[in-house]
Structure 1
């Protein structure tokens, strides 16, 4: 009899314990994107699944996206943008749905993935000489607008000529802007130095 009562209590109470879990005092709850919801608390963001389980814990490096006049981080193609500051300059990378960094923060700017590629600003370093007094390399930095796949591999250069840049927080106070934009699955518009647009069809 006691065993039957205990079994009955377990049968009744376990679902109650499971389904009455809640996340309280949240500052923001986003709509679903890529099967996950972004939640904000005390200035940090996390992600929960459709069951309300936290799958990416609260952290302060998630990059928000403006959607319908609201800003919150999103997953696209199982990737979410993150940022990391190094010597006063922001670099961008991506995490997966476990919170693991799968593309290290290395880009001067980056967009969310779309149709399995993302538009990023790839930074390239060139050694152009040697400072004999200080025995240091003289370096030159440029960035290019490129498309990467979900593993971070470069699939296509959208700009042929690199943009010279001083890699110093005094001059680079915010991420450089893109001159390219995706307008359909295979079409990209590129704004050139003549202030004209080039329409480029890309099949990856």
Structure 2
């Protein structure tokens, strides 16, 4: 009986301790988006829920979104942008509200989700030949601006013609800029070489 009372006391004490925990040493707290608010400590960001619990621990790979007053990461459609640097080049992907990587960082640029759709720059690798002298396969990289769903599946190609890119940190110092933008569920715009927008329908 005494052991049972003691066990219940320990459980109650642990529960009270967990409930009374506070997130301290915060430099910035963002407004809530999609049920979570970003919190900054030093150079790292995490997320709290509406109960004040730290549901995603502080990490340095969360991508911030530019707002008028402050830049901070946000969740949209249960997805938040992350980045990963490989051989000096930054790639973008997404995590869910558990902090799990749902879409691996493979895109050269990426937007936040809106209505379960995000705009990303997808790199495609093509084998164009073989160098017999160097005994090396010759690879070419091109990219498209595409729309993806929340699982990372490509739903539409917005740029039908690929753009060549040299995947080297000496050439890709910043993410390539988007030349398209999604206007509605069935419309998007493309910035042309004559510096004009062209409105097209999604097919």
Deviation of 1:201 (Å): 2.7
Per the normalisation by structure 2, the TM-score is 0.89
Partner of residue 55, structure 2: 55
Task: Report the aligned-residue RMSD.
Answer: 2.1
What's the CA shift string for 1:118-151, capped at 9, x where partnerless? 0000001111110112221111111100000001
Query: 1:108–1:16: structure 2 CA closer, same or farther, 3 Å change rule?
Result: same
Once residues 69 and 119 of structure 1 are traced to their aligned partners in structure 2, the CA distance between those partners, rounded to angstroms, is 24
Once residues 168 and 59 of structure 1 are traced to their aligned partners in structure 2, the CA distance between those partners, rounded to angstroms, is 26
Instruction: Establish whether residue 148 from structure 1 lines up as the match of residue 152 from structure 2.
Output: no
CA contact (8 A) 2:23 2:54 kept: no
Partner of residue 77, structure 1: 77
Q: Which stretches of structure 1, 4 residues or longer, exceed 6 Å deviation after superposition?
A: 13-16
Q: Aligned pair count? A: 195
Secondary structure of 2:81's match?
strand
Once residues 194 and 53 of structure 1 are traced to their aligned partners in structure 2, the CA distance between those partners, rounded to angstroms, is 51
Once residues 81 and 98 of structure 1 are traced to their aligned partners in structure 2, the CA distance between those partners, rounded to angstroms, is 13
CA contact (8 A) 2:38 2:73 kept: yes
Matches within 5 A, 1:7-86: 17=17, 20-86=20-86
Query: 1:132–1:51: structure 2 CA closer, same or farther, 3 Å change rule?
Result: same
Deviation of 1:41 (Å): 0.4
Instruction: Establish whether residue 174 from structure 1 lines up as the match of residue 170 from structure 2.
Output: no
Once residues 33 and 190 of structure 1 are traced to their aligned partners in structure 2, the CA distance between those partners, rounded to angstroms, is 29
For structure 1, the residue ranges without an aligned partner over 5 or more in a row are 1-5
Partner of residue 125, structure 1: 125
Once residues 128 and 194 of structure 2 are traced to their aligned partners in structure 1, the CA distance between those partners, rounded to angstroms, is 28
Secondary structure of 2:110's match?
coil
Once residues 70 and 182 of structure 1 are traced to their aligned partners in structure 2, the CA distance between those partners, rounded to angstroms, is 24
Deviates more, 1:17-26 or 1:187-196: 17-26
Deviation of 1:200 (Å): 2.0
For structure 2, the residue ranges without an aligned partner over 5 or more in a row are 1-5
Once residues 149 and 18 of structure 2 are traced to their aligned partners in structure 1, the CA distance between those partners, rounded to angstroms, is 39
Per the normalisation by structure 1, the TM-score is 0.88
Secondary structure of 1:199's match?
strand
Secondary structure of 2:102's match?
strand
